[in-house]
Structure 1
Amino acid sequence: MLLGNWSVRMKEKTPDKPNAKPVAELFMTSYGGVLQGNFGESTRFGEPVADVIAERLPVSTYFGLLTFVLTYLVCIPLGVFKAVRHNTLPDDLSSILIFVGYAVPGYALGSLLLLFFSVKLDWLPMGGLTSEGFDDLSPWAQLKDLSAHTFQPLCCYLIGGFAFVTMLMKNHLMDNLSADYVRTAMAKGVSFRNAVRKHALRNSLVPLATNVGHQVTLFVTGSFLIETIFDIDGFGLLGFNSVIDRDYPVVMGVLTLSATLMLLGNVLSDALVALVDPRVRFE
């Protein structure tokens, strides 16, 4: 609608109508407040964009934080195990499971989980983050309800990152274990366990540290496909619906916040690399 208005005003710029404004000026008039953090009001909700985003951001952050913590908490030890047990039966079996999981998109897994656990077995709820009357439940009942609603979406969020982080950890650890400095340490009498823990492991964490910034952006913005399947009113679904409904103030707010998070994530990655790698120093 706004783009259409710009086109109309551009066409109206004739010698008889010298007051018609150019596109750049119209854009700054409509969205100049974005540079000051003022995104205006949502044309769909009739509320300030900041309030619309703030209402949905905690939902995606909740799933993103769980995904981030569980991914690194499980995949780093699993990658170390696969590297030291390379070409053994546990390594081969875990690789099969990891790559099968990696080949299944998260939204496809979500449909299968809903069909099996929610429709056929009726064990888990169909969607949403909480049930009706959640506030009236006891703390223990609230925890059970939240866990039941979290399980299936969380599996969908985890499935892709598990394979990437695990194999990244395994491959870089294997490269470091075959490096000269590790062989030299073992030749001096350092045990294999200490060589892995004190020498190779720290250097293998550097590629994971560089990937943290990207993960930070993802765990806040979420996935609109997963949120759509499970009817989770989060940040990703908000951005998708805003594009469909041409709610341009919200689109600008979503893009600005995503870009800001990406920049902050890159700064965080650089800081973590400097923390892990003693050769990197800020001057």
Structure 2
Amino acid sequence: MLAFIVRRLLAAIPFMFLVSITVFILIQLPPGDFATSYAASLSAAGEYVDQNTIAELRARYGLNDPLIVQYFRWIGGILMGDFGYSFQWNSPVSELIGERMGLTVLLTFATVIFTWAVALPLGIYAAVHKYSIGDYIFTFIGFIGLAIPNFLLALVMMYFAVVWFGQDVSGLFSPEFRNAPWSWARMVDLGKHLIIPILVLGTASTAGMMRVMRANLLDQLHQPYVVTARAKGLSEARLLTRYPIRIALNPFVSTIGWLLPTLVSGEIITSIILSLPTAGPLLLQALLAQDYYLSGAFLLLLCMMTVVGTLISDILLVLLDPRIRYS
């Protein structure tokens, strides 16, 4: 297992290098650059566009340099721990993405825990009690969860929170804690504000995972090894937890690799509606403004999360299913 982990980590180095090239090319594909986007925003606002100012911006940020020079300046800084300087915000990229990425990872992992905590027992119950009233109820709820868009659910929950309870649920902090230093009171306030984003982001994932768990477990319940174990007198609870559930969990574990970046990139609209200070809205603004230092850093971090998530899922699969060996 240790040799497998080392091989995967070494293989991730050229992979991330190729990803960085792809990210940089994708960012440069739209016509123009940050200077032209800045000039277009000024024109849209009815302000005068000074061409000398635009030329100074290009010279200041090296936008006139060849793309190969811009790429190696960008990737060289990242290797030295410098993610560059944001054109749009006039701030170091590391300062902009630091707290936002931390809050995004916290929200993502909380959503994953909520998804698994709800989808696993409901999927197991629906499979064991197939075609029962509970199975039909959970199936109906699952279809509703899959059908309702996250942004619509966010709007509905915000409406009921304001109209029925008189609570402002936008953002991740109350006004008095937004710029306050970290403390126990700020963490408690963050936990209260995480409830609605977790419910909104986890609804569709929970519904989908519940259906997957039900289908996988149904495939295992009628396998010969289950019938044999039941005939030998093994209790139903021990039978389920020892054999079929472990095997049915494989798809859950194997999806960690893409689940993490999917939740990060899929929460953009929800974060905008709920005014969440996460990575999604900032990434969208950086892409629209062609701020390639900021957007490139976000995209690289998402790809890194995919690599790390896939490695974690592979390790957990070995621990979960003894039939899987990477040696």
TM-score, normalisation: structure 2: 0.74
Q: 1:254 corresponds to which letter in structure 2? A: F
Q: Pairwise mapping of residues 264-275 of structure 1 onto structure 2 (< 5 A)?
A: 264-275=308-319
CA distance change for structure 1 residues 186 and 30 in 2, over 3 Å: closer, same or farther?
A: closer
Q: 2:237 aligns with which of 193, 201, 208?
A: 193
**Superposition pairs of residues 98-109 of structure 1, within 5 angstroms:** 98-109=142-153
Unaligned runs of 5+ in 1: 7-19
Corresponding position of 1:14: none
Matches within 5 A, 1:63-78: 63-78=107-122
Q: Find the residue that maps to 1:128 and give its secondary structure.
A: coil
Match of residue 124 from structure 1: 167
CA-CA distance at 1:5 after TM superposition: 6.8
Q: Which amino acid aligns with 1:95?
A: T
The 3-state SS of whatever aligns with 1:167 is helix
CA offsets 1:173-220 (integer angstroms, 9 cap, x no match): 111111111111112222333221211111111111101222233455
Residue type of the alignment partner of 2:94 = A
Where 1:190 maps in the other structure, the secondary structure is coil
Q: State yes or no: 1:60 paired with 2:82.
A: no
Q: Does 1:279 align with 2:323?
A: yes
Deviation at 1:54, TM superposition (A): 0.7
Match in the other structure for 2:290: 246
Do the aligned partners of 1:222 and 1:235 also contact (CA within 8 Å) in 2?
Answer: no
Matched letter for residue 90 of structure 2: G
Pick which of 109-118 and 121-130 moved more: 121-130
1:79 aligns with 2:123: yes
Count of aligned pairs between the two proteins: 268
- Name the CA shift for 1:116/1:257 in 2 (closer, same or farther; >3 Å): same
When residues 32 and 279 of structure 1 are mapped into structure 2, their CA distance, relative to the original with a 3 A threshold, is: same
Structure 2 portions without partners, runs of 5+: 1-26, 35-63
Change in 2 beyond 3 A, CA 1:161/1:30? closer
How is 1:1-283 mapped onto 2 (pairs within 5 angstroms)?
A: 4=32, 22-118=66-162, 120-134=163-177, 135=180, 143=188, 145-219=189-263, 223-283=267-327
- Structure 2: how far apart are the matches of 1:175 and 1:128? 43
**1-structure distance, mates of 2:158, 2:99:** 26
TM-score by length of 1: 0.85
What does the per-residue CA deviation read over 1:108-146, in whole Å, with 9 as the maximum and x for residues that have no partner? Answer: 11111112222x22432141111122359x956973x43
User: Equivalent residue for 1:15?
Assistant: none
Deviations 1:36-85 (A, max 9, x none): 44321011222211221112112212211211111112211111111111
Report the CA distance shift for 1:259/1:36 in structure 2 as closer, same or farther (over 3 A).
Answer: farther
- Fraction of identical pairs, as percent: 27
**Deviant stretches of 4+, over 6 Å:** none
| Aligned-partner Cα distance in 2 for 1:277–1:36 | 40
Q: CA deviation at 1:148?
A: 4.3
Is the 2:120–2:210 contact (alpha carbons within 8 Å) kept by the matching residues of 1? yes
Tell me, yes or no, if the aligned pair for 1:60 and 1:221 is still in contact at 8 Å: no
Are the counterparts in 2 of residues 64 and 218 from structure 1 also a CA contact under 8 Å? no
Aligned with 2:175: secondary structure? coil
Could you tell me how far apart the structure 2 residues matched to 1:244 and 1:229 are?
18
Aligned residue type for 1:279: R
Residues 129 and 150 in structure 1, CA contact (< 8 A), matched pair in contact too:
yes
CA displacement at 1:31 relative to structure 2: 4.7
